[in-house]
A and B are shown apart, each in its own frame.
Chain A
Amino acid sequence: MPVSKETLDSIALSEKEYQLIVERLGREPNEVELGMFGALWSEHCGYKHSKALLKQFPSRARQVLVRPGEENAGVVDIGDGLAIVMKIESHNHPSAIEPFQGAATGIGGIVRDIFTMGARPIALMNSLRFGPLSNPRNRYLFHGVVGGIAAYGNCLGIPNVGGEIFFADCYSDNPLVNAFCLGIAKKENLVKSRAYGEGNLLMLVGADTGRDGLHGASGLASRTFEGDTELRSAVQVGNPFLEKLLIEACLELARTDWIVGMQDLGAAGLTSACVESAARGNGGIDIDVLKVPRREKGMTPYEVMLSESQERMLILVKKGYEAQVKALFDRWELRSDIIGRITSNGIARVREGEKLVAEVPIGLLTSPPVYLRRVKPPSWIEGLQKINLSSIPDMSPRKANKALLTLLASPNIASKHSVYRQYDHQVGNNTVVLPGNDAAVLRIKGTKKAISLTTDGNARYCYLNPYLGGAIAVAEAARNLVCTGARPLAITDCLNFGNPEKDDVYYQMKECIAGMARTCRELRIPVISGNVSLYNETRGRAIYPTPVVAMVGIIEDVSKHCTAEFKHEGDYVYLLGCTQVADSSIGGSEYLQVIHGTVKGSPAIDLNLEKRLQRCCLEAIKKGIIKSAHDCSEGGLAVALAESCLLGGVGFTSFDLYFESRLDAALFGEAQSRIVVSVSPEHAWLLEKLADRWEVEALRLGIVSGKRLIIKGFIDLSLNELGKAWWNGLANFFK
């Protein structure tokens, strides 16, 4: 074999895969061709290990206009001639190496995926995972990532309206930075990315091409790496100002009929942009790398084709319109160059002037091998799920106050205001419910409607039980939307796992996806786009399996939206859904981790109950029966009550409550399918009737009153004390 193992390693191809290339091509590929295969057959672009599993996700529904993989992002119809375009994507590996630029360019990449389709980006969210903040390296990563998101996103004028942040040991060397963007477009203005029509032109717009980001897709995102190698050159540096100009110029262009399509340059740069759009359009491409404007001298064709320089767009220009398109970009002071043309022969041809440097059938580049394996459950998982409850003493009532304060101050539960106040979350004049609630709500101008957005995914549950953890990620995201009065419409997901070539990791991925898919079908929510990030491990240690579910829902009448905070003294507070929890619900809980230092047990969910609960809550909000709704999640019932009090600035006093379970499970257990709602006393009977009709239990817990949180016999704390713990829990690490 003429290629060394080192070369193959550097582009993350196995020897077997190399042999497959030789066989299919009928010859040895040259250096440029091999680089192109490496990029497109990488996990990041080619989904070798995940494609077969992802097929389980339901992706068809009446409202779905563009399904996963068809375009740069998924699209759903929201009526009134409008479409929502959305996607989530990981930028984990770059952020682990250079947190500020890694996170910043993650925003840049996901935003390009959205405006490429002719949609104006109107919302960002970020789902982040870090190691514990007690470690200075983790504080550095956290600070860098948040700073990078703020610097890039704020400059673009797109509000960052939500997301989540979760801390666990396993992310210490491998933080997760998942970026979500959502855009809105008139249906007729949607742009596709399909290179077709012999003689149409390829125009490259935006930044010059440099050596930055070489091997981003194959090197960084598709293998594990050890801390000592210098990988910084594989991370790009962002220029949000240039991106802002590209947004405005491309959206202007989307309204003309001068183009056949647009495609952003992301992972694997020009190679994937050209090849993927040609594959979609059943066309071919002919590029001259000498026409590509360079940032530095002496770049080889290989470097030009694989550079991941940011802020570049490929415009598929209709023949004869190049002058108009160029003039439009000139007005925005953006550089644009014709670098090649579209052919109809299905071949990717790359030239350097007259010299041919690569010639490969597009079909070969876009059909990497797909792996599907049978694997057994890891040997350790049974022991992990078994929890001997008798070995964990129940909490004594006099310790409940302290436990609640400790949990509220835990960074996983504490207020994230010190983060989201660094993000512009109001630009655009649409943000009705600001970050810090169950889900963000954005109204849709020109209609009565609003959309609701959230991201969810409790990786601790997935670690303990990948199938149920996956199921809960979907169910909880839907529950969060329902709490705002929204009907879930669609999901985009980011699947973060370790090295899939290891059986244990593959098992986790397989089970998580199966659990998610089952829940999607059960709740009838299609998956319309997504991204897979594998090889998230350092020194042989994988992260928790971390599927992140970003979900959008629709509120038909924005004036009927609902929020989490208690509103008025005298209102009754009810717990809807699972009103008596099992002792085992402390398994996998934040309580067990924080108070007992243990991650054990298994989460549980009854999807039938979940479905009824969500429908019941949604109907109660639509009919205007309830005044607040808040999902019980990390920290359980006591934390949910505390949050509703703190957000509303008003207290709560319980009736004499009887708990069938252990006290710690009743207060802090994380049983699913529970929503805390408040209702005015005169509407309480309506709520009870409705709950009865949906066969959902409704337990009257107490009354909104005063300035204290009182759960009789167990908890009695002032809002002041609760607020101090919750408000400063995260911020205190940076004092």
Chain B
Amino acid sequence: MRFGIIVFPGTWSDRDCYYAIKDILNRDVSYVWHKETDLSQYDCIVLPGGFSYGDYLRPGAIARFSPVMAAVEEFASRGKLVIGICNGFQVLCESGLLPGALLRNDHLEYRCQWTYLRVENELTPFTSVLQKGQVLKIPISHYDGRYYADKATLEELEINKQIVFRYATPNGRTTPASNPNGSLNNIAGITNKEKNVLGMMPHPERACEPLLGSSDGNLIWESIIASIQGNAR
């Protein structure tokens, strides 16, 4: 199996994703330039973090028109796995692959810190080796991470169990204080209805070694690998 990491002008967590997948998990991975249109050799596409096109206009607003995004939409429509991290999540919302939007953090500042994520739905390809209620320590780093959607969409997300991660305390309680950016319902990550496209603001690729403070992010990559190789539970 093979991961493809999309590189837009201004992307920066491409290298960290590459490191986590290749050097830590020892899996095949290559960079995919934003002008490419053929994704047939990949099993999972990663839209990494950064400031694609400088985040000018709105985060993700320009990147969604990149040639590669049409291919990503087609890729996702075939049920293949797409994970968008941070800026990647913003691109997915802008392109309509995921519902809702990511607004400027409620305190209007950039925020880089450790967060704790409670697993809300363990029955997705991205959480297949996780348990419901399990808490992951994974950091955030963004200006625009406040998840927002209208009431009807939020209800739909809850009913369809599309909310995968919520910001929580280290022991798994979702409190206002554990919400670092004002996201509605403490939402940190969601999937589409079909559960093959995940967007999350926190950076699992940064939580890849105990030396760096956590290796919980690897569980998300391992879930993807297990799902694709068909040995998920």
Q: Spell out A's residues near B (CB within 8 Å).
A: 150-151, 154-157, 239-242, 244-245, 332-333, 420-432, 434, 443, 445, 558-559
Contact = CB atoms under 8 A, between A and B. Distances in A.
Contacts of A157: 12-13, 50-51
Given A426-B112, A429-B209, 19 more contacts: A150-B110, A157-B12, A157-B51, A241-B53, A244-B9, A244-B51, A245-B9, A420-B112, A421-B111, A421-B112, A424-B110, A426-B141, A426-B203, A426-B212, A427-B206, A428-B15, A431-B212, A434-B213, A445-B23
A426 B139 contact: yes
A98 to B, nearest CB: 20
A241 B51 contact: yes
Chain B contact surface mostly: mixed
Contacts of B55: 155, 241
B155 interface: no
A445 B19 contact: yes
A1 B199 CA distance: 69
Contacts of A434: 213
B56 to A, nearest CB: 7
Contacts of A423: 110, 112
Given A431-B212, A445-B19, A426 B206 contact: yes
B50 to A, nearest CB: 6
B208 interface: yes
Given A241-B51, A241-B54, A443-B211, A428 B16 contact: yes
A218 B46 CA distance: 48
Contact of A155 (B10, B13, B20, B203): B10
Given A150-B110, A424-B141, A432 B54 contact: no
Given A241-B53, A244-B10, A432-B212, A154 B110 contact: yes
Interface in B1-22: 9-10, 12-13, 15-16, 19-20
A115 to B, nearest CB: 14
Contacts of A426: 112, 139, 141, 203, 206, 212
* Among B9, B53, B205, residue most surrounded by chain A Cβ atoms (within 10 Å): B9
Nearest to B19: A429
26 contacts: A154-B51, A154-B110, A154-B141, A155-B54, A239-B54, A240-B54, A241-B51, A241-B54, A244-B10, A244-B54, A332-B9, A333-B9, A421-B112, A422-B109, A422-B112, A424-B141, A426-B139, A426-B206, A426-B212, A427-B12, A428-B16, A429-B16, A429-B205, A429-B212, A430-B212, A431-B212
Contacts of A424: 110, 112, 141
Nearest to B12: A157
A156 B12 CA distance: 7
B113 interface: yes
A420 B55 CA distance: 22
A245 B34 CA distance: 14
Interface string B55-91: 1100000000000000000000000000000000000
A329 to B, nearest CB: 12
Interface string B166-178: 0000000000000
Contacts of B209: 429
Given A421-B113, A426-B112, A427-B16, A241 B212 contact: no
Nearest to A159: B112
Contacts of A245: 9-10
* Among A156, A157, A430, A432, residue most surrounded by chain B Cβ atoms (within 10 Å): A157
Contacts of A333: 9
A245 B54 CA distance: 10
Contact of B13 (A425, A427, A430, A432): A427
Contacts of A558: 211
A83 to B, nearest CB: 20
A220 B10 CA distance: 31
Contacts of A150: 109-110
B206 to A, nearest CB: 5
Nearest to A150: B110
B203 to A, nearest CB: 8
A240 B55 CA distance: 10
In the A-B complex, list the 6 residue pairs whose CB atoms are closest, starting with the nearest.
A157-B12, A241-B54, A155-B51, A424-B141, A422-B110, A424-B112
* Among A155, A429, A430, residue most surrounded by chain B Cβ atoms (within 10 Å): A429
A566 B15 CA distance: 34
Contacts of A421: 111-113
A558 B203 CA distance: 23
Nearest to B139: A426
Contacts of A332: 9
Interface in B107-158: 109-113, 139, 141, 143
Interface in B94-112: 109-112
A244 B12 contact: yes
Contacts of B13: 157, 427
Nearest to A429: B16
B9 A240 contact: no
Interface string B28-57: 000000000000000000000011011110
Contacts of B12: 156-157, 244, 427
Contacts of B203: 426
A465 to B, nearest CB: 38
B54 to A, nearest CB: 3
A421 B143 CA distance: 11
A691 to B, nearest CB: 30
Contacts of A154: 51, 110, 112, 141, 143
B179 to A, nearest CB: 15
A434 B209 CA distance: 15
Nearest to B20: A429
A425 B112 contact: yes
B51 A240 contact: yes
A154 B50 CA distance: 8
Nearest to A422: B110
A367 B50 CA distance: 44
Contacts of A241: 9-10, 51, 53-56
A154 B144 CA distance: 13
A245 B50 CA distance: 12
* Among B53, B54, B139, B208, residue most surrounded by chain A Cβ atoms (within 10 Å): B54
A100 B139 CA distance: 26
B51 A427 contact: no
B8 to A, nearest CB: 11
* Among A150, A240, A426, A559, residue most surrounded by chain B Cβ atoms (within 10 Å): A426
A427 B141 contact: yes
A250 to B, nearest CB: 14
Given A155-B51, A241-B51, A429 B206 contact: yes
B87 to A, nearest CB: 10
Contacts of B141: 154, 424, 426-427
A157 B142 CA distance: 11
Contacts of B56: 241
A401 to B, nearest CB: 28
A211 to B, nearest CB: 23
A143 to B, nearest CB: 10
Contacts of A244: 9-10, 12, 51, 54
Nearest to A240: B54
Nearest to B14: A157
B73 to A, nearest CB: 23
B106 to A, nearest CB: 14
B52 to A, nearest CB: 9
A342 B221 CA distance: 52
* Among B12, B13, B16, residue most surrounded by chain A Cβ atoms (within 10 Å): B12
Contacts of A427: 12-13, 16, 141, 206
Contacts of A430: 212
Contacts of B112: 154, 420-426
Contacts of A239: 54
